[in-house]
Chains A and B, each alone.
Chain A
Amino acid sequence: MKIVYSRPKSMKEAHFHYCPGCGHGVITRLIAEVVDEMELRDKAICVAPAGCGMLVYNYFDIDTIESAHGRGAAVATGIKRVLPENLVFSYQGDGDLAAIGTAEGFHAANRGEPITIIFVNNGVYGMTGGQMAPTTMLEQVTTTSPAGRDSLTQGHPVKICEVYATLDGTSYLERVAVNKPAAIIKTKKAIAKAFRHQQQKTGFSLVEILSPCPTNWKMNPLDACRWVDDVMTKIFPLGLIKETKKC
C-alpha cells in the first residue's frame, strides 16, 4: 500500500488546540509541509507569537522560540543576524503584527531583513475572546465594537501588505486565504515562495493569510469560509502585492 498522506516530519504528534473550523491548523500544517519539501527542517527556526498562534511550538518539530506580544520581527532579526544561513520565520496574528508590533514589523521590513513573516489575518483577537483587531471590517461586531466597527472612532482595517509594499526593503508580499482547497494550494505555494526569497536573500518576505475564525465571528465554519470571500477579500484583495525578483 502506498502512503499518500501523513504527518509532516516537521510536526510533532500532538492535538491542535485550535477551535473547529479555524484556519490556524491548516496554516500550521502547510508551513510544516513546505519545510519538509524544501528540506529545511535542520535549518528552520520559528518565532511564535502571543495569541492563538502561540502554541505552534507544541506542533512544529523544529527549533522554536516564543516572543513577547508583537516583538516577533525583532526577535527574528536578532536570530537571523547571528545565523544568516538558517531559515528564520515569525508566525504572527493581526493584533500582534498590525497593532502592538507595528513598529517591529514595519522596521524589519524597511531594513530588508531576510526573514519571513507568516501573517495570519482573521480580523479579531482570537485568544483573548474576540475583541476588535486593527484588521476588523467596518461594521463588524466584536466584543469591543459591540455596535460594529465605526471608522469615525475606531479607524479602518489596516492593510499590512499594501503598507509594506511602499518599503524598499520588502521583496515579496502576497495575500492568500485558507477558506477553500484551491486557496489552500495557493497559500502553500506562497509560503514556499517566501522561503525561497529568504534563501536567496532578496529582502523581507511576508505572506498574509486570510483565515476564518468561526468561534469569534459567531458563525458556523462553512459560513465563515464564505465570509472570507464575500466580505474580507473585498477589503483585503487576494493576490501578489509585490515581488522584486522572481524566485
Chain B
Amino acid sequence: MSGNTAVGEAAVLAGCTCYFGYPITPQNELTEYMARRIAEVPGGVFIQSESEIAAINMVLGAAAAGARAMTSSSGPGISLKQEGVSYLAADELPAVIVNMMRGGPGMGNISPAQSDYLQATRGGGHGDYRTIVLAPSSVQEAVDLVYVAFDLADMYRNPVVVLGDGMLGQMMEPVTFTAPPPKKEYPKDYVLTGASGRPSRMIRSLLFDTKEEEEHNWKLFRKYQLMEQNEARYETFMLDDADMALLAYGIAARIAKGAIKRLRQEGLKVGLIRPITLWPFPRKIIQEAAKELADFFVFEMSTGQMIEDVKLALEGKGHVHFYGRPGGVIPTPVELSRIVARHYYQSQRSKRR
C-alpha cells in the first residue's frame, strides 16, 4: 500500500469522518482514497474544496461541530492552510493536517524533501502557538502515528501535523492495520450543536481586552508545556557504544540507517537518534547522549532546519556536523556513509591530537 492511501485508511479507522482537500502532488492518492473511502463511513463527509484555505476552514467548522476532521496537502498548499491552523490553535479545536513535503520554496518541485520543518515546528501561521508534529519514517509508522495524531488532537484540543514527504506518500510497503486503540472519550463541552437544553456556546479567538488575550496566550503556553513534558517521542538505533550520533527524521532516517549499517561493517561506531515528534523536540535524549559522545551529525533533505533544534538542545556542547540535500534530491546511503565517514575520521584525529 502507498503511504498516501495507508494514511487515509488509518484516518478512517481512527474515527475520522470528515476529509476536506484540494489536489496537489505528491499527496493526491490520499485525497482520492478519501473520496472513495469516506463514502462508506456513516455520516462521512468528503469535499474537494475550492482551495486549501477553504479546506482548512471546513475542517475548522467540522471540528467545531464535534467531528474528527482531517485535511492534507504539500508545501505550497500547506502555506495557504496556515491561516486556518492558527485559528484552530487559538480556538482550541482538534484537527489533523498531513503534509507530504516536496522541494521548495515557491513552486519548487514535486520530489521528496524536508523543506517545511521550520514552518511545521514553529506554528506555521501567525501568532503565539504550536502544533504537535509527528514524523513517520515508514508506511507502517505513518499508520500508527495517524492513530496517535487524532488522539493527541482530541486530548489537547490542538491541531496535530503529520509531516511526511513525497517519498513516504508515494512508496509502497506492506502494512498491517491493527485496530487502533479504543477511542477514548474526550470532553466535548465546547462543541456547537445548537443551544438545546444548555446555555449557548461561543467559539472565538478575538479578545480585544489585552489582559484576556494575554491570559489566553499563557493558557495555551501551559498546554504546550504539558505537551513538551509528555509527548516527546524518538527512536535510537545502535546508539549505545556510538562515538558519533546521526540525527535524522522521517525518510532521511531510513537513509541514515542504511548508511549506519555500512559504517558499522567498516568498524565506525555510529548510531542514530530519530526524533519522531519534531515538536515537541526530544531534547532530553540528545542531552543524555551528549554525556557519552561529542559528535552529532545532522542529516536532512534541506539546507538545515532541524539542526537549529539540535543546537538548542546541546546548548553549546559537542560538535555539530551537517549534511543536507535540498531541492527534492534523495541522497543514497552510500553517499551519506562516505560523508559521515570523513567527518568521523576527522573527529577521531582531532581527538588524538
Q: What is the interface of chain A, defined by CB distance below 8 A to chain B?
A: 41-45, 47-48, 54, 57, 60-68, 71, 74-83, 86-87, 103-104, 106-107, 111
Q: Check if A68 sits within 8 Å of B83, measured CB to CB.
A: yes
Smallest CB-CB separation from B45: which chain A residue? A81
A81: chain B residues at CB < 8 Å are 18, 45, 47, 58, 61-62
B203 touches A71 (CB 8 A): no
Interface centre among A74, A83, A103, A104 (most CB of B within 10 A): A74
Q: Which of A42, A79, A103, A104 contacts B192 (CB 8 A)?
A: A79
Interface residues on B, range: 35 or more
Interface stretch (choices B23-31, B65-73, B155-163): B65-73
Of B62, B91, B195, the contact of A79 (CB 8 Å cutoff): B62
Q: State in angstroms the CA–CA spacing of A76 and B200 once bound together.
A: 17
Q: Do A78 and B195 contact each other (CB < 8 Å), given the known contacts A57-B204, A63-B200, A103-B51?
A: no
Among candidates B53, B59, B83, B200, residue contacting A78 with C-beta atoms closer than 8 Å = B59
B84 proximal to A (CB < 8 A) = yes
The 4 tightest CB contacts between A and B, nearest first, are A78-B61, A74-B57, A42-B196, A82-B65
Q: Assuming the A-B contacts A63-B195, A78-B64, A79-B64, are A68 and B49 also in contact, with contact meaning beta carbons closer than 8 angstroms in the complex?
A: no
B200 touches A61 (CB 8 A): yes
The answer to whether B203 touches A82, judged by C-beta atoms less than 8 angstroms apart, is no
A136 to chain B, nearest CB (A): 24
Chain B residues within 8 Å of A83, by CB? 65, 193-194
Question: With an 8 A cutoff between CB atoms, is B205 at the interface?
Answer: yes
B85 to chain A, nearest CB (A): 11
Sample (8) of A-B pairs whose CB atoms are under 8 Å apart: A45-B192, A48-B204, A66-B91, A78-B63, A81-B18, A82-B61, A106-B50, A107-B54
Say which residue of A61, A64, A77 sits within 8 Å of B61 (CB atoms): A77
Please, how many angstroms separate the alpha-carbon atoms of A153 and B204 in the complex? 37
Closest chain B residue to A57 by CB distance?
B202
The distance in angstroms between the C-alpha atoms of A63 and B59, with both chains bound, is 18
> What is the chain A residue whose CB lies nearest that of B20?
A78
Q: Is the CB of B194 within 8 A of A104?
A: no
Q: Which residues of A contact B83 (CB under 8 A)?
A: 68, 71
Interchain CA distance A68-B54 in the complex, whole Å? 11
| Residue from A43, A65, A75, A106 within 8 A of B58 (CB atoms) | A75
How far does the alpha carbon of A106 sit from the alpha carbon of B43 in the complex, in Å?
A: 25
Return chain A residues, CB-CB under 8 Å to B338: none
**Further contacts, 20 of them, CB under 8 A, given A67-B57, A74-B58:** A41-B195, A42-B195, A42-B196, A62-B200, A64-B192, A64-B203, A66-B205, A68-B84, A71-B84, A74-B57, A75-B57, A75-B64, A77-B61, A78-B59, A78-B65, A79-B61, A79-B62, A82-B61, A82-B67, A86-B193
Interface: B179 (CB within 8 A): no
Q: A78 to B57, Cβ gap below 8 A?
A: yes
Q: Secondary structure of the A side of the interface?
A: mixed
Chain B residues 110-158 with CB under 8 Å of chain A are none
A151 to chain B, nearest CB (A): 28
Q: A68-B84, A71-B84, A82-B45 are in contact. Are A103 and B62 (CB under 8 A)?
A: no
A44-B194, A79-B65, A104-B57 known; A65 vs B203 contact (CB < 8 Å): yes
Say yes or no: is B201 at the interface (Cβ < 8 Å to chain A): yes
- Whether the Cβ atoms of A66 and B62 lie closer than 8 Å is no
B296 in the interface (beta carbon within 8 A): no
Q: How far is the CB of B52 from chain A (nearest CB, A)?
A: 11
Q: Report the minimal beta-carbon distance from B43 to chain A, rounded to whole angstroms.
A: 7
Q: Which of B182-210 contact A (CB under 8 A)?
A: 192-197, 200-206
User: Could you tell me the distance between the alpha carbons of A42 and B18 in the complex, rounded to whole angstroms?
Assistant: 24
B60 within 8 A of A: yes
* Residue of A with least CB distance to B67: A82
A interface footprint on B307-337 (CB within 8 Å = 1, 0 otherwise):
0000000000000000000000000000000
On whether the beta carbons of A107 and B202 are closer than 8 Å, the reply is no
Q: Is B57 in contact with A71, judged by CB distance below 8 angstroms?
A: yes
Q: How near does chain A come to B277, taking the closest CB pair, in angstroms?
A: 27
A213 CB to closest chain B CB (Å) equals 21
B194 contacts A63, C-beta separation under 8 Å: yes
- Residues of B contacting A71 in the complex (Cβ-Cβ under 8 angstroms): 53-54, 57, 60, 83-84
User: Are A68 and B87 within 8 A (Cβ)?
Assistant: yes
Question: Which residues of A lie under 8 Å from residue B57 when comparing CB positions?
Answer: 67-68, 71, 74-75, 78, 104
Q: How far is the CA of A63 from the CA of B66 in the complex (A)?
A: 13
CA of A71 to CA of B69 in the docked complex: distance in angstroms? 17
A76 to B205, CA, bound (A): 17
- Measured between alpha carbons, how far is A111 from B63 in the docked complex, in Å? 21
